[in-house]
Structure 1
Amino acid sequence: MNTANERRCDVLVIGSGASGLAAAVTAAHQGLDVLVAEKTDQLGGTSAWSGGWLWIPRNPLARAEGIEDSEQAVETYLRAELDVDALDERQRAFLHHGPEMVDFFQRHTQVQFQSGSRMPDMHESPGAIHGGRSLCALPYDGRQLGPWLHALRPPLDLISLGGMGIAAGADLTHFLNASHSPRSALYVAGRLLRHWRDRLLHGRGLHLLNGNALVARLLRSAIDLGVSLETGAAATRLLQDGQRIAGAELMQDGSCLKVLARQGVVLACGGFPHDRPRIARLFGHEHLSAAPDTNTGDGLRLGEAVGAKAVEDLSSPAAWAPVSRVPRGDGRFSGFPHLMERAKPGFIAVTRNGRRFTNEADSYHDFMNALFRATPAGEEPVAWLLCDHRAQRRYGIGWARPFPFQTGRYVRNGYLKKAASLTELARLCGIDGEGLQATVAAFNAHAERGTDPDFQRGASAYNQAQGEPLHGPTPSLGALAKGPFYAVKLVPGSLGTFAGLRTDASARALDDRGEVIPGLYVVGNDMASVMGGRYPSGGITLGPGMTFGYLAGLELARRAITPAGSEGQTRRSSPCAAP
């Protein structure tokens, strides 16, 4: 029976990102009563800000398109990327159950996907393919959420256009070509008019894309299945019945709410991108995450307090990304993630000596690892992203948006450096001027021929996909030829964290002896990276996240119907509902 200070349910999910909602929807579909507790006033976590891509090799959509991909090829690619002789049980579970997860959501929920048939793997390792292993949610009409629409976290304001999401592929291509193509200009005008009409009438955009569409579809599915959604409910500690996790205490509106969960608790709190003490211990450098600043490591602390073991000896503790410091007006900064423009023609990145240090068109994770290697011991990792006038007007550079937006405000607030010559730009940035001049001259000469002998930029399928398809002879290579020139400072950041709690292949939490903690499940970025802290392809966060959310939901339902002493007795109640 529910009271003002106590709630009962079968499953408590702490966190409302895609992984947690996947667990909630799966468990609810199996007949369990589920409550989702979100510490903030907005649902969706980092997932709602993300590109929304999932890496799911051999998924049903790719098969339907006739894309040939074998289990052997996928395993070969992962072994090469993860530098292992054999995959472990979690990696095998992910590859085996990922396609099954996609099929489940496609068949039984509002979550519908579209295939990334042109999205290549990030590296040219053995077993790589040039499309078909990635997918993302189809666009969604926000009106379908009804009153829950305004509880959905909107797209990240720094990278959206007035809160309007822009999808990779044809949608983004139209925006980039709007000043060159009448057809694209008409398309963009229509998108903008629709968005501002929706904002005027409904307070936010209704044409949901990317991670916003994924979370919206999961939310609609959860609502349809009777899942209770509680916002402003921060978990403060887990409750135990002997060795078993039996619920949690939540702080909501200044009051303590005890939630008793008969089958178990799922931790899905989004990792620790803003947990300053853990970051200081694991990272070794300043860090500015692009994740919501409320992701402060709650899940890891809750789990550790009941004996769960954190895995920290990974290849990388986070999904690194270069970010620039955007002033917020309150003396603090937000991190703008540089995910797209680095690979476009007319851009290079250099360190203080004016020299390039990596292939700018490689993944954000690879870019940052290269910067770490290039930074002398004892110095903070810093790079400068540079472009010429044509590139800035066409693609923008970070927060400094492209035409028709003017660059003046970004220069005045110190975010953007602008100069008529490379020599002057170097002086403004504190870069070695002679080194920069030599670097740009050599880069330009090679770029005109479509080659990059120093870092092979443009050689891989991933580089080409990230470049400009209308540019030749190589989509991602173009000279910095026409002033004025621009630069923004890049510092270490991340899209999320990889270090997390140890789990088995069913997402059950494990203690320091490797034994299961009954009733405790961990998914998403609270779970230690399935990829061991490596980044083989786009979507390796949400893909495993939703797969293990799905597996956690199935395991919770299995335990609810399989007699196993007092813990396995079938028990039902009315759905968790507000008292």
Structure 2
Amino acid sequence: MNAMPPQLNERSADVVVVGTGAAGLAAALTANGSGFDVLMLESSDLLSGSTALAGGGIWVPANRFMLADGDKDSAEDALRYLDDVVGDQGPATSNARKRAFVENVTKAMAFLESTGIRLRRTPGYPDYHPDRPGASVAGRGIESAVFDMNQLGDWSTRFLRRPFPRTMPMGTRDVARLVLAKRTLSGLLTYARVFVHFLWGKATGRRLAAGGGALAGQMLNQVRLRNIPLLLQTRVTELVKDGERVVGVRAEGPDGPLTISARRAVVLAAGGFARNAEMRGTYQPSPVTGAWTSASKSDLGDGIRLGQSAGAALSLMDEAWWGPASVMPNGVAIFHVSERSKPGSLIVDATARRYMNEAISYVDAGHEMIERNKNGQSIPSWLIFDQNYRSRYPFGLLFPGVTPKELVDKGYFRRADSIAALAAMIGLDAPTLTQTVERFNGFARRGVDEDFGRGSNPYDRYFGDPTVKPNACLAPLVKAPFCAVALYPGDLGTKGGLVTDEHARVLREDGSVIEGLYAAGNTTASVMGRRYPGPGVTLGPAITFGYLGMRHLASVAKARA
């Protein structure tokens, strides 16, 4: 596409940011702080996409909170950990990009805090591979403080809202304790504190948010306070180029076509393609579908397709932020994390046999499901548990002990009075499932999973039950009725996309830079490659590379001045 001709419906800015998730917001705030005139575009009528739905953890090695608490860490330790866990998965995981992340993530967080955004630590949430070199068990995670969404004014109604009880003001640091409210004093006190905070907010007219919603809310509030213009329902359809340089965009807005010139750069931060059936069919393993994703409905791959049109290279398009998920009768996918670690449960495939450590990180569990299904055995898999488990722990959106008859009648919960009867109900071989459960029960009583090592490391035990001995992740399945829930390889979003360098510049297949084009977040191939090293490795790089891209742009502008 040649340089844009004059049109009546035109706008211009130094920097045009496409997308209002964490990556785009970080880029917009950094560009604004560097003196650039910024315009943000959002294709949906709702703000912040998948960030607003996220748990909200941010992986920040050597963050100021952990250092103040006396927990030792360094960028070099984090780099050693990433080199070991992530390895070399192509240009997205280059040493330069990994080093850029670990050396600048604290700077990106310091910048956010300098704007007025409040952050806090999530102590004790270990890295997901705590036995690997450079790992931290103390916890490298931080998150947004609780935020009153009313501060956003009219924008407060433009957010995706998570269903209750996830609307309560609880952060990542609260969840592991809160799900043990019926089992431990600390869990009960955490639940009481969160619930009282929730009631206080309702009584005082506040709309309290935590997690990803609070992070997005705080960042958007800073955009609002800085009068950075933001156009909703404005979907970018083309990148405009002058020769080989990107110089603007064409978009469709509520009032028709719009042409926007970008004097300095365009930033693509429009998320991944989790909700694009055609792209998932082209790039991802069968039978993966968007019906199992937890990503925003606006996660349609726009940024990736725009980058492709300018000649960008792609990488890791077969990947996602995988994790076992169930699907409610209303079609809502529930992403399961803590449920898989709790004692009194196990996962089996179509052969009625276990095939993994159920408590491993969600991305690794998703990989296990997809790999196992090459023989057509694991989609769906079945999460099996007994009544003790159901009475003690939450499940998805349900409180402990609450198993609505409607969910049984509609087949979400399959329930029977014996393991053999349950096997017949879900189409598994009864003698094999009985043998699997008996073998597992023996491991549980001895406290050692001899097949897969469940509960043998701090990450497994983080979501276990410390009142269960000798292994916080293992208990026998003995009390009827027994339940089964179908599991699928769901995801929090896709993690493949445009190849970018350590400055967040978009690259061609030959490694050359597409001038005037930056990208960050799930629009890009992840610096984490095919792995998920720790809590918050989606948002951490998204924010950091949004920040780094605009710092690079500022340095280029200064050099040319």
TM-score (norm 2): 0.92
Aligned letter for 1:389? Q
1:21 alignment partner, SS class: helix
Q: Matches of residues 42-441 of structure 1 in structure 2 within 5 Å?
A: 42-84=46-88, 88-106=95-113, 108-123=114-129, 124-155=131-162, 157=163, 160-161=164-165, 163-164=167-168, 166-170=170-174, 173-174=177-178, 176-177=180-181, 183=189, 186-187=192-193, 189-191=195-197, 193-194=199-200, 197=203, 206-253=207-254, 255-287=256-288, 288-312=292-316, 317-328=319-330, 333-378=331-376, 381-399=379-397, 401-403=398-400, 405-441=402-438
Gaps of 5+ in 2: 1-5
What is the distance in 1 between the residues matched to 2:362 and 2:175? Answer: 22
Aligned letter for 1:396? P
CA shift for structure 1 position 327: 2.7
Deviations 1:390-438 (A, max 9, x none): 2113223335x13463421111222111112111111111122111111
What is the distance in 1 between the residues matched to 2:198 and 2:75? Answer: 43
Change (3 A) 1:503 1:171: closer
What is the distance in 2 between the residues matched to 1:163 and 1:286? Answer: 32
What is the distance in 2 between the residues matched to 1:241 and 1:472? Answer: 67
Change (3 A) 1:295 1:220: same
Gaps of 5+ in 1: 564-568, 570-579
Aligned to 1:34: 38
CA shift for structure 1 position 4: 7.0
2:328 alignment partner, SS class: strand
Change (3 A) 1:189 1:25: closer
What is the distance in 2 between the residues matched to 1:175 and 1:339? Answer: 11
2:487 alignment partner, SS class: strand
1:556 alignment partner, SS class: helix
User: Could you tell which deviates more after superposition, 454-463 or 366-375?
Assistant: 366-375
Are the aligned partners of 2:182 and 2:393 in contact in 1 as well (CA < 8 Å)?
A: no
2:486 to 472, 485, 489: 489
Aligned letter for 2:236? A
Q: What is the count of residue pairs matched by the alignment? A: 547
2:375 alignment partner, SS class: coil
User: Could you tell which deviates more after superposition, 141-150 or 426-435?
Assistant: 141-150
Change (3 A) 1:84 1:308: closer
Are the aligned partners of 2:455 and 2:471 in contact in 1 as well (CA < 8 Å)?
A: yes
1:440 alignment partner, SS class: helix
Deviations 1:322-350 (A, max 9, x none): 1112232xxxx232111221111111111
CA shift for structure 1 position 55: 1.4
Are the aligned partners of 1:178 and 1:188 in contact in 2 as well (CA < 8 Å)?
A: no
CA shift for structure 1 position 270: 0.7
Aligned letter for 1:299? G
The two structures, once aligned, show a CA RMSD in angstroms of 2.4
Aligned to 1:524: 521
What is the distance in 2 between the residues matched to 1:327 and 1:197? Answer: 33
CA shift for structure 1 position 128: 1.4
CA shift for structure 1 position 242: 2.3
CA shift for structure 1 position 560: 3.5
Aligned letter for 1:319? W
Are the aligned partners of 2:122 and 2:173 in contact in 1 as well (CA < 8 Å)?
A: no
Aligned to 1:499: 496
Aligned to 2:3: none
CA shift for structure 1 position 378: 4.9
Deviations 1:209-230 (A, max 9, x none): 1111111111111112221122
CA shift for structure 1 position 207: 1.5
Change (3 A) 1:4 1:449: farther
Aligned letter for 1:363? S
- Mapped pair 1:550 → 2:554: no
- Mapped pair 1:515 → 2:475: no
Aligned to 1:573: none
Change (3 A) 1:296 1:478: same
CA shift for structure 1 position 3: 9.3
1:375 alignment partner, SS class: helix
1:110 alignment partner, SS class: coil
What is the distance in 2 between the residues matched to 1:184 and 1:271? Answer: 35
Change (3 A) 1:422 1:191: farther
Aligned letter for 1:98? V
What is the distance in 2 between the residues matched to 1:136 and 1:188? Answer: 16
Change (3 A) 1:170 1:338: closer
